[in-house]
Structure 1
Amino acid sequence: MKKNIAIIMGGYSSEAGISIQSGNVVYKNLNKDKFNVFRILILREKWVYQDENEREHPMNMADFTTTVNGYKTKFDFVFNAIHGHPGEDGTILAYFDLLGIRHSSAPFYQMAVAFNKRDCLSLLKPYGIRTARSIYLNKGEDLAFDEIKSTVGLPCFVKPNRAGSSFGISKVYKEEELSPALTKAFDEDDEILIEQFLDGIEVSVGVIKWQGDILVLPITEIDSDNDFFDYEAKYLGQSREITPARISEKQKKNVSEMARKIYQKMRLKGLSRADFIFVGDEPHFIELNMVPGLSAESILPKQAREAGISLSDLFESTINSN
């Protein structure tokens, strides 16, 4: 008997549109001979099942079921394609755990820590994971510019602590640029991270559960036309994502070992992508993405393809390994 798979997409953040694109790719590529596949749109104003004719049917939030033409559908598994809140930060996963429904992501606590940049950095530092110097700031707190210069230096990055797809990020070169950068970041989150600029090769490393084992995928080098890997570089073609990365064997070994270590120490599951910048041969961890983009042109699917793994097989293995 085929399992009923709910693909959740949308979410409550600025990344809702990107999430819907990812969810539709999963829907298109999951093997319909093996699974009954349902697109579930999760938005602040509605939770609905969107059928193949784009008609919307309400979800029962008490038990995560939907009823169409008098027939009630329950789900055996949830494929999480929500970037940002409430999918990537683990909020909705606690709900599925309470309902006893398996899902594609790591446990909700690990997801919450991974999504919170400063908590993730703090957790990993004791394991010898190198990171950039940083300062944390909550909304309403004052911060002296001299403290930024002495702690992280210039240029530096100002980032929302809990956001993705480079929303709200600025690169700051001088004091007068700081105030608008803080305003931009606080529009996305009430916690921000001010981080040292590291001048080196940027790479992204996918780590997945593949047929029950941890697999580090081929590494991608990020070559942006812009000042950094911002939204336009990620989604509007203003960058080159080169897989496999043009790095030395030593760099490849170092970053692959670090990416695997992060996956193991945080006890992660499902799909993940970690970003690093090299200082010499040593990778410095930047952030972790636990619901990476899943379109055919996104980084992790390209890495899987380089490893000889199709999107259909990648998504099926994600279901079977969780």
Structure 2
Amino acid sequence: MKTKIALITGGYTGEAEVSFKSSAFVYSQLDHDKYDIYQITITQDAWFYVSDSGIKCPINKEDFTLLLNDSILKFDLAFIMVHGSPGEDGRLQSYFDLVGMPYTSCDALTSALTMNKGYTKAILADIEHINLAKSVLLFDTQRAEGVSLVEEKLSLPYFVKPNAGGSSIGMTKVKVAEELQAAIDKAFDAENTGSQVIIEEFVHGREFSEGIYRNIDGELIVLPATEVKTTREFFDFEAKYIPGLTEEITPADLNEEQQSRIAKILKEIYVRLNCKGMVRIDFFLENDTDKFYFIEINTIPGQTPQSFIPQQVRATGMTEQEFYGTLIEVALKR
């Protein structure tokens, strides 16, 4: 009998449109001879599956079962492909823990923690060879005094972004002091991104993104790095999802010592944050100093054909079908 997989897509934020693209690609790459795959859409209004005949069938949220063709379908595993809330902030993981459903991503605590950029940096601060840009974390009660707090501790230019958002939504690069208040307001007002804003000093360097996961034998595997070169001011939402605005080089041009050093750092981050499944970590290599600077971690990284992780998987000689199959088998074994 085939393993029944609930491929979860959608979500409650503007990142839902990316989730639909990611889940469609994962669906196309999974081994349908081995798995029965059901795409389950989650919105704030409803959780449902659309049958082959076009009928919208609701999920029973009491136990995450599906009434289909007059019989109750129980899933063996949830493959979470929801970017943003509730798939990336721990809420969905908490639900699946309650109903006893295994899933492919990090657990609820790690997911919630890593959605908070400021708290994540605090936990990673003492890892050897890692560097963190100087930053200020603002809470909603500090909105009015934010400019003075930032100018007191940081030097221009700044990156201003929601502390709990993704896809660079609500993010601004500030080069002159007069732009700071508007950037803070934009970050605070970004939809469904929490009530905190983080401001970081700009790091001048090359930008990279690299995936890491644990294989069926429990070994941590670091995928080849991707270097990001964009024609935009920074790697914003448009640069990420509009073709032609960004050059992505996989594998990146890093020497053997740099590859070894960053692999060690990434493994320590994965273990320190108690990650599970696949994650993607973004970082800078600072100009002139050869220091690696942590940017952020993504626990539900994008899986469109052009996304970093599929690029990196292909660069190893592995197929996406093999890779996604490994994630499923590891989660089932866990």
Cα distance, 1:186 vs structure 2: 1.1
- 2:293 matches 1:293: no
Deviations 1:68-126 (A, max 9, x none): 22111111000000001111111111111111111001111011111111111111113
Output the amino acid matched with 1:286: I
Output the amino acid matched with 1:316: G
- 2:264 matches 1:263: no
Output the amino acid matched with 1:171: K
How many residue pairs end up in the alignment?
A: 322
CA contact (8 A) 1:39 1:51 kept: no
Identify the residue that residue 174 of structure 1 maps to in structure 2: 176
Cα distance, 1:214 vs structure 2: 1.1
- 2:173 matches 1:187: no
Cα distance, 1:51 vs structure 2: 2.8
Q: Distance in 2 between matches of 1:197 and 1:52?
A: 50
Identify the residue that residue 101 of structure 1 maps to in structure 2: 101
Cα distance, 1:318 vs structure 2: 0.3
CA contact (8 A) 2:138 2:146 kept: no
CA contact (8 A) 2:212 2:222 kept: yes
Cα distance, 1:187 vs structure 2: 1.8
Output the amino acid matched with 1:264: V
Unaligned regions of 5+ residues in structure 1, if any? none
Cα distance, 1:309 vs structure 2: 1.5
SS, match of residue 136 in structure 1: strand
TM-score (normalised: structure 2): 0.93
Cα distance, 1:294 vs structure 2: 0.5
Q: Distance in 1 between matches of 2:329 and 2:139?
A: 40
Please say which of residues 144-153 and 177-186 is displaced more in the overlay.
144-153
SS, match of residue 121 in structure 1: helix
Identify the residue that residue 314 of structure 1 maps to in structure 2: 323
Please say which of residues 296-305 and 146-155 is displaced more in the overlay.
146-155
Identical amino acids, percent of aligned pairs: 37
Mapping 1:151-300, distance limit 5 Å: 151-188=153-190, 189-212=194-217, 213-237=219-243, 238-279=245-286, 280-300=289-309
Identify the residue that residue 51 of structure 1 maps to in structure 2: 51
Deviations 1:173-229 (A, max 9, x none): 112211221121112231110011000011111001223321000011010111110
Deviations 1:241-299 (A, max 9, x none): 10111223332222221111101121211010000011222211010000000111100
SS, match of residue 84 in structure 2: coil
CA contact (8 A) 1:114 1:120 kept: yes
Unaligned regions of 5+ residues in structure 2, if any? none
SS, match of residue 36 in structure 1: strand
SS, match of residue 102 in structure 1: coil
Cα distance, 1:54 vs structure 2: 4.4
Identify the residue that residue 130 of structure 1 maps to in structure 2: 131
Aligned-pair Cα RMSD in Å: 1.3
SS, match of residue 84 in structure 1: coil
Please say which of residues 35-44 and 250-259 is displaced more in the overlay.
250-259
Identify the residue that residue 139 of structure 1 maps to in structure 2: 140
SS, match of residue 82 in structure 2: coil
> Relative to 1, partners in 2 of residues 1:147 and 1:321: Cα closer, same or farther, differing over 3 Å?
same
CA contact (8 A) 1:93 1:108 kept: yes
Output the amino acid matched with 1:156: Y
Deviations 1:133-156 (A, max 9, x none): 000011231335354234221110
SS, match of residue 317 in structure 1: helix
Q: Distance in 1 between matches of 2:58 and 2:14?
A: 23
Identify the residue that residue 80 of structure 1 maps to in structure 2: 80
> Relative to 1, partners in 2 of residues 1:28 and 1:261: Cα closer, same or farther, differing over 3 Å?
same
CA contact (8 A) 2:160 2:174 kept: yes
TM-score (normalised: structure 1): 0.97
Q: Distance in 1 between matches of 2:70 and 2:145?
A: 59
